[in-house]
């Protein structure tokens, strides 16, 4: 498990913005699936992160985690392209009220961040409004910090943090 205070601090800083968060999984046949995730946070112990996905749009991701409890989560700032990927064992539970508040805060920050690079706010809201309309239920995914990588474009991309 990663426990470096610098890595945990970097994840918390990046995850506290309007960053794009994508969770990747695979099924038993190793067929990949990705879902958009919201409400990123680093647990206080610094040994795992939590994200939430809509149950409807994330149904394949959730099914994959039931078969193969491993996930890769990529967090990317749209304004700086700073990107970090976390890989680890994963578990799923229902999102609670605190998670839903964190999701709403993340979505507000996301709308503001993409507006800063030119995407109209209405267009960015549609990215999650359609998911919420399809299935408003959210599930929380906890991913252990088994490995963390720099995925920022450039010579250091792919380096373990």
- What pLDDT score does 127 carry? 82
pLDDT at 7: 85
Q: pLDDT (tens digit, 9 = 90+) per residue, 104-135?
A: 999 999 999 999 999 888 888 888 888 887 77
Residue 73 covered by a domain = yes
Distance of alpha carbon 147 from alpha carbon 54, whole angstroms: 25
> In this structure, what token pair is assigned to residue 36?
């958009």
Q: Residue 27 is part of a domain; what is its CATH number? A: 2.30.110.10
Residue 134 lies in a domain: yes
The whole-angstrom separation of Cα 77 and Cα 157 is 15
In a domain, 129, yes or no: yes
Residue 3's pLDDT band, with cuts at 50, 70 and 90, is low
- The total number of structural domains in the chain stands at 1
For 21-60, write each residue's pLDDT tens digit: 999 999 999 999 999 999 999 998 889 999 999 999 999 9
Number of Cβ atoms within 10 Å of the Cβ of 48: 21
Residue 142 lies in a domain: yes
- Whether 155 is covered by a domain: the verdict is no
Query: What are the angstrom distances between the C-alpha of 41 and each of 60, 86, 115, 141?
Result: 22, 12, 23, 11
């Amino acid at each position: 498990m990663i426990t470096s205070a610098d890595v945990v601090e970097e994840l918390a800083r990046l995850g506290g913005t309007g960053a794009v968060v994508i969770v990747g999984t695979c099924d038993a046949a190793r067929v990949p699936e990705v879902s958009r995730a919201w409400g990123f946070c680093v647990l206080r112990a610094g040994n795992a992160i939590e994200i939430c996905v809509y149950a409807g749009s994330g149904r394949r991701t959730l099914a994959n985690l039931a078969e193969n409890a491993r996930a890769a989560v990529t967090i990317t700032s749209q304004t700086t392209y700073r990107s970090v990927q976390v890989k680890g064992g994963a578990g799923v539970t229902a999102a609670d009220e605190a998670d839903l508040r964190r999701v709403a805060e993340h979505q507000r920050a996301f709308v503001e961040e993409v507006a800063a690079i030119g995407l109209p706010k209405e267009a960015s809201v549609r990215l999650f409004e359609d998911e919420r309309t399809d299935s408003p239920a959210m599930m929380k995914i906890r991913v252990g910090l088994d490995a963390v990588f720099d995925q920022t474009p450039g010579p250091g991309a792919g380096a373990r943090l």
